[in-house]
Amino acid sequence: MSQPILIGITGNIGSGKTTFCNLLEEKGFKVIYADEIAQQQLNQPDTLKTLIKRWGKGIVKNGQPQRDKIAEIVFNNKSELDFLNSIVHPKTLSALQQIVDNSTEKYLFFEIPLLFEAGLELCFDYIILIRAPREVRINRLLQKGKETREQIEARINAQIDDQDKIPLCDLVIDNSNDLTELNNQLNSLLSTLKDIKPKEKIPFSL
C-alpha cells in the first residue's frame, strides 16, 4: 500500500492556519493537528511523572497537566523549554509517523505551527505557508482576549519570520482578507492537488 501525499501547513500565530484547516476538513480531507498530538503525549502518565520530578506537583491538577503553569516555566527559559521538548518531541514524532503508516488516505494534511523551527521540512511532499500582516495577526489575537499585546509580540518574535519561510514553501496563502478569499485560494490549491508528486522524505521519527 502506497503512503499518502504528506502536506504540511504552517504559519506564525494569528495567521489563520486553523481556519484554513477547518475549511479543508469541511471538504472531506483529513487534517492532523500536531499540537493536539503533542498534548496527548503530554498527558501520558510516564511523561507527567518525568515533568513532576523536575518541576513539582504544581504543574498537575486532577491528574491533568496545567498548560499555563508549564508555559510559565518554559517561557523565556531555554533550558527548561529544551527539557520539555526533549521529552514530548520524540513521542509526538513517533505518533505522527504511526498515523502516516496506518493511513489509507490519498492526502494527509498536517497543521504544524513550528514546522521549520522543529526541522520537519524534509518530512513532507508539499508545504503551505499561511500568512497575514503582523498587525492583522496581533489584532486577531487581541480579539480573543487571552493575551496582552506584549505577550503576543513576544510569541511572534520567537518564531521565524515569514519572509525567511517563503523560499522554503511550495505555496503561500495570503490570509489578510475575508473567509471568502481564503476559501477561493483553498479551492485553487485543491484543483492542483493531483499535480503534487511524492518526494524523497525522511520519517517523522527518524
How many domains would you assign to the chain?
Answer: 1
For residue 204, what is its C-alpha cell? 517523522
Question: For residue 139, what is the domain's CATH number?
Answer: 3.40.50.300
Angle at 44 between CA 145 and CA 48, to 5 degrees: 75
**Within-domain flag for 206:** no
**Within-domain flag for 50:** yes
- pLDDT per residue as tens digits for the range 100-147: 999 999 999 999 999 998 999 999 999 999 999 999 999 999 998 888
**Within-domain flag for 66:** yes
DSSP structure class, residue 58: G
pTM of the model: 0.90
**Within-domain flag for 205:** no
**Within-domain flag for 28:** yes
Cα–Cα dist 33/118, whole Å: 15
Structural contact between residues 21 and 29, judged by C-beta atoms closer than 8 angstroms: no
- pLDDT per residue as tens digits for the range 26-83: 999 999 999 999 999 999 999 999 999 999 999 999 888 998 899 889 877 889 989 9
* Residue 178: domain span: 5-194
